[in-house]
Chains A and B, each alone.
Chain A
Amino acid sequence: MDSKLIKEQEIKRNINNAFRSAEVTVVRRRRISVRFRAGILPAFISYLKEYMGFVHLVMISCVDWLEDNQFELVYHLWSYEEHIHAMIKIRLDRDNAQIKSLSSLWPHAETYEREIHEMFGVDFEGHPGLTDLILEDWSDLPPMRRDFDTRAFVAETFEWRKGREDAQDVRQTISARYGETIPEFKKDK
């Protein structure tokens, strides 16, 4: 198995020769994953594009690590020469989510960045137009953030249609049936 990963290991070595702080993991055949710091991302990505053959930006995605108070941006790159998929993972502070735009390297990065900006609230420095993409007049929290309460939003925004008034709460039904009175305690003592 290991013998088949020669290509991947070589890329890992090359990346580490240029950028010592990049944490490169060979996930499996044809797939590597790189953790990198946000500060010099454009330099790193342009190195991958110009010198390592990762000429295609497949997409950019974002993960909300609420518990760590961080966002994770994942840049998916593809090398046609080596047939290798590289995932570049960047962690950003959730309260001050800012990173340089890659629109100068790939024009189509613009759309992905615009969407991430809209859905998570990440600010892309140098982006030509971070305006509304899908949502219109959105003033709430960016909706893909995990602390956005979809349920409350739905209940507030959409009208309850008639004919559903007979809905019952399971817990209340059970306690009523057995004459159980659920006490209410103050959260703060």
Chain B
Amino acid sequence: MSIKGTLLPFSALKFLGKKPHTVRYPYQKKKTAERYRGFHYNDIEECIGCGTCATICQNEAIDMIQIEGIEAKKGDSGLRPRVDNGRCCWCGLCVEMCPTGSLSLTDQYLHTSSDPESYLLVPGVDHPEFAEHLSFVKDDEVRLLDLARVPMKELDPQERVKSFAEVVVGYMQEEARREATRCIDCGICVTACPDHMHIPEYIGAIADADDELALKYIYDNNPMPEMCGKVCTRQCETVCAIGHLGEPIAIRWLKRYATEQFPDPAAVLNPTIAPANGKKVGIVGAGPAGLSAGYYLALRGFDVTIYEALPKAGGMTFAGIPKYRFPMDSLDKQIGYMEKIGVKIKYNTRVGKDITFQEIRKNNDATFIGIGFHVPYKLGISGEDLQNSIQAIEFLRTINLGGNVYVGKKAVVIGGGNVAIDAARVARRLGAEVTILYRRRVQDMPADWEEIEAAEDEGVEIIPQGIPLEIIGEDGKVKAVKYGMAEMVPDPRGGRPRPKLIEGNEHIMETDTIIGAIGQEADYSFLPEDLKEELKIERGRVVVNEFKQTSIPDVFAGGDNVNRTMDAISAIADGVKAVEGITHYLMDE
């Protein structure tokens, strides 16, 4: 008998310290496997009700329903998923497709009941305690959504400042298809668009390689899509479902792509123009609001005349937006199409000077005021009237009309909105060193972050928290600007933090020009005295109802002089709404 045979049985002793696999008493619940897929849990606050889980579910086990306490708002459909656990197979596709990452599966799996109703659960509302048991959650390594945007090509900053050539190159066909394919077709973007364009439909058409169909969807409620495709403030992208975990779909660039495919929109759209209905509408101002109202009214058989003070249509999109963002031929193409379908535009006709407002009202059955904000606010500091102290709006208008403005070797722009950035980038292209002086922090700037970044790339310097105090002159010309540094203090009324001047922290910067860009207002001087009283205006804006009708029944209004968002797409939305109002007012007896 060998020694091995004697010792071998004792080797079983090594199991003494180990945990047995058998059930333990008193009964302990066993842990599930890692990433076990049990009942759903949904973070109700994170969820935006995009319905992607319901769309992807191969068993149609998920319904989107209204639940108490969740309101629809911008970027949220107000619906939440409910899972039929009688149909669910716990494949986890809904979790992997969830663009916000709010949906997960838990390690809870026990439920027995003879009542089929009890298998319908609204995750996150029924069994909120499952939040403590998350098991199959969003995984950053394996994801079925494509979170990275197809990059947009741009000109090199060094090249850009040499000319007014368009900075953004635009998507090629393959790039646009690839970007459009990232869209999950939920429609959350529509909640944020002031004009409620049919975004999922046209992106779907682009993905399906049907650009003509895309153009039809786009023109259904936006007659200036190429402009929007280039310069829109794109609130849609800020709420994009994909934007919660990744980069939002490039909705603006896709719209731009679709419109740029067709040199003549009329050939694709082939619009049916209703026979003339005998009603006439006069429009003051050929900006986005006036043009949109004019376009859709003309399609409905109205006789439309637009009165424009400048030699070109487009309003602020023509006079305010620099050509490197929105080239002239692109604008001409859209205006040309509108004139083709019967919109009459009288150029160089300033209402109140070349024609009176009463005359327009007398000659037309309804009028629309879309005059925009073209009069700049004054800075309100001494030295403002010196030579070479100019206003950004006037500066941009003169440059866009082909004129010349002296900017010298060094220019200081005051303000932090898109107008300020535009003025700075234009001055840079005219050869000046440019500094932007802004009262608040860079993150408080109302300008588009892409614009701010582009300006910095082009060599524009930004001095945040600097308040201009005085413009110092010499021989009647601007020589320098004195500014003080500010600290941010909380707003007692709960708004964004306010800048407060720090005593004694003052600087002087030499400069050849000062460009003011702190805001604009409307010029209502064209209104006759009696109408000024009759037309209700509050804080510089015309008061209108849902259909853009003012306190005078036959006068409608829209655009910057009505809405608070003050961008092109809101103006277009106003124009489109006014079309409904005017049709209703003139045609329904």
A interface residues with partner B (beta carbon < 8 Å): 150-151, 154-155, 158, 161, 163-164, 166-171, 173-175, 177-180, 182-183, 185, 187, 189
The one of B120, B190, B217 that contacts A185, using a Cβ cutoff of 8 Å? B217
A175 touches B187 (CB 8 A): yes
- Cross-chain pairs A/B with CB under 8 angstroms, 13 sampled: A163-B117, A164-B120, A166-B66, A168-B63, A168-B79, A170-B186, A171-B51, A173-B64, A173-B72, A174-B191, A177-B78, A182-B198, A185-B213
B186 touches A175 (CB 8 A): no
Q: What is the bound-complex CA distance between A173 and B71, given in angstroms?
A: 12
Contacts of A189 in B (CB 8 A): 212
* Whole-angstrom distance between the Cβ of A163 and the nearest chain B Cβ: 6
A150 touches B58 (CB 8 A): yes
- The yes or no answer to B216 lying at the interface (CB within 8 A) is yes
Contacts of A168 in B (CB 8 A): 63-66, 79
Q: What is the bound-complex CA distance between A189 and B117, given in angstroms?
A: 48
Contacts of B213 in A (CB 8 A): 185, 187
The one of B60, B77, B84, B216 that contacts A170, using a Cβ cutoff of 8 Å? B77
* Whole-angstrom distance between the Cβ of A153 and the nearest chain B Cβ: 10
Total contacting residues, chain B, CB less than 8 A = 39
B79 touches A179 (CB 8 A): no
B198 touches A167 (CB 8 A): no
Residue ID in chain B nearest A183 by CB atoms: B220
How many pairs of residues, A versus B, come closer than 8 Å at their CB atoms?
Answer: 83
Q: Scan residues 67-109 of chain B and give those whose CB is less than 8 A from a CB of chain A.
A: 72, 77-79, 82, 84, 86-87
Q: What is the bound-complex CA distance between A144 and B160, given in angstroms?
A: 54
A170 touches B51 (CB 8 A): yes
B63 touches A166 (CB 8 A): yes
A178 touches B66 (CB 8 A): no
B86 touches A177 (CB 8 A): no
Residue ID in chain A nearest B194 by CB atoms: A178
Contacts of B220 in A (CB 8 A): 183
Contacts of A174 in B (CB 8 A): 72, 77, 187-188, 190-191
Q: Scan residues 481-516 of chain B and give those whose CB is less than 8 A from a CB of chain A.
A: none
B217 touches A180 (CB 8 A): no
Q: What is the bound-complex CA distance between A177 and B220, given in angstroms?
A: 18
* Whole-angstrom distance between the Cβ of B18 and the nearest chain A Cβ: 31
- The yes or no answer to B315 lying at the interface (CB within 8 A) is no
Residue ID in chain A nearest B200 by CB atoms: A171
Contacts of A185 in B (CB 8 A): 213, 216-217
Q: Could you give, for residues 54-65 of chain B, a 1 whenever the CB lies within 8 Å of some chain A CB and a 0 otherwise?
A: 100011100111
A183 touches B77 (CB 8 A): no
Q: What is the bound-complex CA distance between A161 and B61, given in angstroms?
A: 11
The one of B82, B117, B201 that contacts A182, using a Cβ cutoff of 8 Å? B201
* Whole-angstrom distance between the Cβ of B359 and the nearest chain A Cβ: 35
Q: Scan residues 214-233 of chain B and give those whose CB is less than 8 A from a CB of chain A.
A: 216-217, 220-221
The binding surface of chain A is classed by DSSP as loop
* Whole-angstrom distance between the Cβ of B455 and the nearest chain A Cβ: 34
Q: What is the bound-complex CA distance between A180 and B84, given in angstroms?
A: 31
Q: What is the bound-complex CA distance between A188 and B220, given in angstroms?
A: 18
Q: What are the 5 A-B residue pairs with the smallest beta carbon separation, nearest first?
A: A167-B63, A170-B51, A180-B196, A171-B187, A178-B196
- The yes or no answer to B282 lying at the interface (CB within 8 A) is no
The one of B60, B72, B116, B120 that contacts A177, using a Cβ cutoff of 8 Å? B72
* Whole-angstrom distance between the Cβ of A23 and the nearest chain B Cβ: 29
6 new A-B contacts at CB < 8 Å, known A168-B65, A170-B77, A187-B213: A151-B60, A161-B86, A166-B63, A169-B64, A170-B186, A182-B198
- The yes or no answer to B372 lying at the interface (CB within 8 A) is no
Q: What is the bound-complex CA distance between A169 and B54, given in angstroms?
A: 9
Known contacts A175-B190, A179-B196, A183-B217; A170/B201 CB under 8 A:
no
Contacts of B210 in A (CB 8 A): 187
A183 touches B186 (CB 8 A): no
Contacts of B217 in A (CB 8 A): 183, 185
Contacts of B198 in A (CB 8 A): 180, 182-183
B190 touches A167 (CB 8 A): no
Residue ID in chain B nearest A166 by CB atoms: B65
Known contacts A168-B64, A168-B66, A168-B79; A161/B190 CB under 8 A:
no
B51 touches A178 (CB 8 A): no
Residue ID in chain B nearest A171 by CB atoms: B187
Contacts of A171 in B (CB 8 A): 51, 185-187, 200
Q: Could you give, for residues 378-417 of chain B, a 1 whenever the CB lies within 8 Å of some chain A CB and a 0 otherwise?
A: 0000000000000000000000000000000000000000
Q: What is the bound-complex CA distance between A177 and B84, given in angstroms?
A: 27
- The yes or no answer to B50 lying at the interface (CB within 8 A) is yes
Residue ID in chain A nearest B212 by CB atoms: A189
Q: What is the bound-complex CA distance between A183 and B198, given in angstroms?
A: 9
Contacts of B65 in A (CB 8 A): 166-168
* Whole-angstrom distance between the Cβ of B227 and the nearest chain A Cβ: 21
- The yes or no answer to B288 lying at the interface (CB within 8 A) is no
Residue ID in chain B nearest A150 by CB atoms: B58
Q: What is the bound-complex CA distance between A101 and B117, given in angstroms?
A: 49
Q: Scan residues 11-65 of chain B and give those whose CB is less than 8 A from a CB of chain A.
A: 49-51, 54, 58-60, 63-65
The one of B51, B66, B78, B116 that contacts A161, using a Cβ cutoff of 8 Å? B116
Q: What is the bound-complex CA distance between A110 and B72, given in angstroms?
A: 57
Contacts of A182 in B (CB 8 A): 198, 201
Contacts of A167 in B (CB 8 A): 54, 63-65, 82
Q: What is the bound-complex CA distance between A174 and B196, given in angstroms?
A: 10
B190 touches A154 (CB 8 A): no
B120 touches A163 (CB 8 A): yes
* Whole-angstrom distance between the Cβ of A180 and the nearest chain B Cβ: 4
Residue ID in chain B nearest A182 by CB atoms: B198
Q: Could you give, for residues 176-193 of chain B, a 1 whenever the CB lies within 8 Å of some chain A CB and a 0 otherwise?
A: 000000000111101100
Residue ID in chain B nearest A185 by CB atoms: B216
A154 touches B186 (CB 8 A): no
Contacts of A179 in B (CB 8 A): 196
B84 touches A178 (CB 8 A): no
Q: What is the bound-complex CA distance between A24 and B385, given in angstroms?
A: 82
Q: What is the bound-complex CA distance between A97 and B117, given in angstroms?
A: 46
* Whole-angstrom distance between the Cβ of B268 and the nearest chain A Cβ: 9
* Whole-angstrom distance between the Cβ of B332 and the nearest chain A Cβ: 27
A164 touches B63 (CB 8 A): yes
Q: What is the bound-complex CA distance between A62 and B71, given in angstroms?
A: 48
Residue ID in chain B nearest A160 by CB atoms: B60
Contacts of B82 in A (CB 8 A): 167
* Whole-angstrom distance between the Cβ of B301 and the nearest chain A Cβ: 19
Contacts of A161 in B (CB 8 A): 84, 86, 116
Contacts of B190 in A (CB 8 A): 174-175, 178, 180
